[in-house]
Structure 1
C-alpha cells in the first residue's frame, strides 16, 4: 500500500496514528504531497480527484480517500476493534466531531494563505473558531466518560484535532475553561503513536 500524506495535515495524522496503533506502519509506503485548494499540482489527483490528503492505494481495489474511510479500512484489515459494536454510534459521532474541528481549523489557515489580504474576513475566521469552540464544549460536557474508556477511533480523531489546534492555532488557547479535556489530551499526547506523528511546519 501507499499512503499520500503531509505531516502537517491533521487528517493524515489521524491515519498515521491508526497505522501505528494497529501495527500496520510497515505495510505502507509513505509518500509526501503538498498543495492547497488553489494548487493541486503536487497532490495525488490520480488517486483522489478531490485533490485532498490523505489517499491510500491498496492491492485489493482502487485507491480510497477521506481519513474516515481509510481508518475504517485499516481497522477492518487489522481487526483491531477501533470501531466497537457496543459504542459504534458514539465513536462515529465523536470522530465526525473531531473531523469537523479539523475542517474548520484548516479553513482558518487557508483563509490566511490562499485569499488575498484585502479579501480576508476576520468575521469568517472567527465563525470557524466558533464551530470549534462549540465542539470542544460539547466534548467537555458530554463525552469525557467515553474518552476515559478503551482506545477507539474517537480517541485518535480527537487527539489529532487537538494536536492541530496546538500546531496552528495555539494563540486561541482552546484549553481555557476545559480542564478535563486538557488533562485528557496531556495524557493521550504521550502515547508513542502520537509522539511519532507530531506535525512538522512547512
Structure 2
C-alpha cells in the first residue's frame, strides 16, 4: 500500500488522484492530509520531501517520489496499461504539451492565491494581473483547440491535467467566469466532470 501526502484543495494532488482512479488504483493509496504553503511547513512531509510540496508519494520501503508529473508517470507504469497513454510518438508529444498547459494553469492559480494572501503592504497588483493574464491566454488557446480534446479516444494524462485545472478555476476563481467566452472548452470540461474519477476527487474546502 502506497501513501500519498495530499490535500483536498490541491489541484496537483487531485490530478494524481483522478489518474489513480482512472487506472483503478484508488484503493492502492492511503491518503495523508497535510496543509503546506510557501512559508507553511510540515515537518513530517519534509522528512520525505525537503521541498515541502504535495503531492508526495511514499513507497513501502520509505522512499519518496514527487512531483505530480513524476507520480502520474509512475502510476501508469505501475498499472502496466497503455489505456491512458497515446499510441504514437507525435500523439505522446501532443499530450505532454496538454499536461504542461494544464499544470501551467494550476501553477498560475496557486501563485495568485499566494499573492492574495500577502499582507496589504506586500501585495503586488502587477504580479496578480500577470498570473491572471497568463491563465486567460492559456484558456483562449485551449478554446481554439477544444475539438482536439473532444476527439481524444478515452482519457489521457494531458486531458486529466486540463480538466483538473479548469475545475480548480471553478473552485477558487468562479467569479471570473472562464466559461463565458469559451463555450467549446466549457462543454468538453462538463463532459469530463461526469466521470466517476472526477466526482470521487472533488475539491473540498477542508
Task: Sort the TM-score into its range (normalised by shorter chain).
Answer: over 0.9
Contact (CA 8 Å) 1:34, 1:42: kept in 2 or not? no
Query: TM-score, normalized by length of structure 2?
Result: 0.92
Say yes or no: does 1:137 pair with 2:143: no
Q: Is residue 162–residue 185 contact of structure 1 (8 Å, CA) maintained in 2?
A: yes
How many Å separate the matches in 1 of 2:171 and 2:44? Answer: 22
Find the aligned partners of 2:47 and 2:193 in 1 and give their Cα distance.
34
Q: For 1:198 and 1:123, locate their aligned partners in 2 and report how far apart those are by CA, in whole Å.
A: 31
Structure 1 unaligned spans of 5+? none
Partner of 1:159: 163
Q: How many residues align?
A: 201
Larger mean CA deviation between 4-13 and 74-83 belongs to 74-83
Within-5 A mapping of 1:1-202: 1-41=2-42, 44-59=45-60, 62-81=63-82, 82-86=84-88, 87-113=91-117, 115-150=118-153, 151-202=155-206
* Preserved CA contact (<8 Å) 2:9 2:203: yes
Q: Deviations over 1:143-180 (max 9, x none)?
A: 53144312111111011100000000111111121100
Q: Deviations over 1:112-137 (max 9, x none)?
A: 22x11121122211110111111111
For structure 2, the residue ranges without an aligned partner over 5 or more in a row are: none
The verdict on how the C-alpha distance between 1:33 and 1:61 changes in structure 2, with shifts beyond 3 A counting, is closer
- Aligned-residue Cα RMSD (Å) equals 1.5
After TM superposition, the score normalised by the length of structure 1 is 0.94
Give a deviation string over 1:52-111, Cα, whole Å, max 9, x none. Answer: 100001236821001000001001111232232421101101001100100000111111
